[in-house]
Amino acid sequence: MSQYPHLRLRRTRATTWSRALYRETVLTPADLIWPLFVTEGRGVEEPVGSLPGVSRWSVDAIADRAREAVALGIPCVALFPNTPHALRNETGTEAHNPQNLVCTAIRAIKDAVGDDLGVLTDVALDPYTSHGQDGLIDDNGYVANDATVDALVGQALVQASAGADIVAPSDMMDGRIGVIREALEDQGHHNVQIMAYAAKYASAFYGPFRDAVGSGGLLKGDKKTYQMDPANGDEALREVELDLLEGADSVMVKPGLPYLDIVRRVHEEFGVPTFAYQVSGEYAMIEAAVAAGAGEREPLVMETLTAFKRAGASGVLTYHAPVAARLMGG
Ligand code: PBG
């Protein structure tokens, strides 16, 4: 009895209303975090060559993007600086300057939209170092863990003091979440969240981002001694477990689409807020497909973003955030 023709799974797919009724996963603008690149100057919009449709904005223009995000129903933006090259050095000291681009942008956003928008900041030294690594390097070029953690604490604290709502360490040093959490508590930043880039892979998909923050040309070698091997899944669960024990409020898997299995495993194993970062190379691939006539932007964007949610993601960092939010009528 329980077979064709009694059972026809196409019945519920036959009409638009029925597909809407049976849809298991619903994407909304509230699922999106919009990454923004900040640059020097006033009234500046500087297109990023390898990310068609994405620009670096000066601080005043970033405040306009914040207003745009609120109007579109996007709850949070993520800030990344294109630090002037003259301010980069071996140890990334500009990361600790309370007047640096990111801190200035946080204040401008808070002045513009207050608490209508969350501001997430990246904790890692790569936009500030002259060598493009995320931390402090020793004589052999090895990124030294514990010295880097100390520097990251200082960076997270200036961001929190400037008004960041979420600090997001993307550096993959061991132990940094616990030390940052303790410092935030000590300084009275009890409600500043930590979103840990817990499972961040040494990926080939970060190229356009490194262009956007101006670290690509500086970087020698790779980041394989701290970012994870793309071949590993079980290890991602250990990373997530430690970051949660150390005080992370939410965790991230990065990149996105090639790692949906990890998103699924993290969500099932821990049941904690799990975010995915659809990174720059993934954005660029979609835009390249569109430019080549191999697909249409809107359906490609909506399908990929919906897939993140289906896999268990609580939300997605994506450069397509404004495009997607507009499609959803935001
Ligand atoms: C820096 C950082 C990177 C990204 C986010 N934070 C690059 C890297 O690790 O080299 C990549 C984001 C993207 O590609 O969109 N720690």
- Model pLDDT for residues 70-105, shown as the tens digit of each residue: 999 999 999 999 999 999 999 999 999 999 999 999
Give the residue numbers marked as catalytic: 200, 254
Confidence band of 1 (pLDDT split at 50, 70, 90)? low
ipTM: 0.97
Residue 289 Cα to ligand 1 midpoint, Å, equals: 22
Going by alpha carbons, the residue nearest to atom 6 of ligand 1 is 170
How many angstroms is it from 209 CA to the middle of ligand 1? Answer: 6
Instruction: Tell me, using a 6 A CB cutoff, whether residue 282 lines ligand 1.
Output: no
pTM of the model: 0.97
Nearest CA to ligand 1 atom 5: 170
Mutation test residue for ligand 1: of 126, 131, 166, 213, the one with most atoms within 8 Å of CB? 126
**What's the number of CA atoms in the CB half-sphere (13 Å) around residue 103?**
16
Ligand 1, residue 122: give the atom nearest the CA: 6
Determine which residue's CA is closest to atom 8 belonging to ligand 1. 206
CA of 206 to the centre of ligand 1 (A): 6
What's the average model confidence in pLDDT over 64-72? Answer: 98
Q: How confident is the model at residue 98, as a pLDDT?
A: 98
Residue 173 CB less than 6 A away from ligand 1:
no
> Would you say the CB of residue 211 lies under 6 angstroms from ligand 1?
no
Instruction: Give, in order, the Cα–Cα distances in Å from 294 to each of 286, 301, 302, 305.
Output: 9, 13, 16, 18
Relative to the CA of 219, which ligand 1 atom is closest? 10
pLDDT above 90: residue 220? no
Residue range 162-166: average pLDDT? 98
134 lines ligand 1 (CB under 6 A): yes
Which band of pLDDT confidence, cut at 50, 70 and 90, is reported for residue 119? very high
SS3 for the chain, per residue?
CCCCCCCCCCHHHCCHHHHHHHCCCCCCHHHEEEEEEEECCCCCEEECCCCCCCEEEEHHHHHHHHHHHHHHCCCEEEEEECCCHHHCECCCHHHHCCCCHHHHHHHHHHHHHHHHCEEEEEECCCCCECCCCCCCECCCCCECHHHHHHHHHHHHHHHHHHCCCEEEECCCCCCHHHHHHHHHHHCCCCCCEEEEEEEEECCHHHHHHHHHCCCCCCCCCCCCCCCECCCCCHHHHHHHHHHHHCCCCEEEEECCHHHHHHHHHHHHHHCCCEEEEECHHHHHHHHHHHHCCCCCHHHHHHHHHHHHHHHCCCEEEECCHHHHHHHCCC
Q: pLDDT, tens digit, for every residue of 245-257?
A: 999 999 999 999 9
Residue 165 confidence (pLDDT) above 90: yes
Which residue ranges form the domains of the chain, and what is each CATH number? Answer: 25-327 (3.20.20.70)
